[in-house]
Amino acid sequence: MVANIFVNLPVKDLNASVAFFTQLGFSFNPQMTNEEGTCMVVSDTICVMLLVEPFFQTFTAQPLVKAHQAKEVILCLAVDSRAEVDRLAEAALAAGGQPVPQQPQNEMEFMYDRNFQDLDGHLWNVLYMDPAFAQQPATPEAAAQ
């Protein structure tokens, strides 16, 4: 079974990206940091490697997606409360992140989320889901089992 996940993201300006994510409250592993990249700690088992574009490009022969123009992935962070959703989203916008064009804030009875783009255009979703809802069976058939 997988023990950890390391998401690799290309960034144009490593120092600007570190400053941005520091303002959101994230820390960085100094043992995995140099001028080509850094390891942003999301949790005990999840890290995001912010890699300058030329270094990122050494891992693949394919061209980089221009994240301000197209999306390949949405990075979703599940948090413990609606207040934390708002804190992270507002911190991202205050730090220079951008709201997601034509993407309304979602609010449902059991779920609350907000989206933002980081400095490089990567799409982030911050989500709170009511734990009571998450524990419910998905279908009536599943409940009967």
CATH at 34 = 3.10.180.10
Q: Are residues 79 and 14 in the same domain?
A: no
Residues spanned by the domain of 6 = 1-62
Contact 105, 82 (CB under 8 A): no
Give the per-residue pLDDT at 4: 92
132 is a domain residue? yes
CA atoms of 88 and 86, how far apart (whole Å)? 6
Q: What share of the chain is helix, strand, coil (3-state, %, to 5)?
A: 25, 35, 40
For 55-113, the pLDDT digits (tens) are 999 999 999 999 989 888 999 999 999 999 999 999 999 999 999 866 555 556 788 99
Residue 43 is assigned to a structural domain of this protein: yes
Cα end-to-end span (Å), the chain: 27
Q: What is the pLDDT of residues 6-50, one digit of tens each?
A: 999 999 999 999 999 999 999 999 999 999 999 999 999 999 999
Looking at residue 14, the DSSP 8-state letter turns out to be H
Residues 58, 6: one domain?
Answer: yes
Number of compact structural domains in the chain: 2
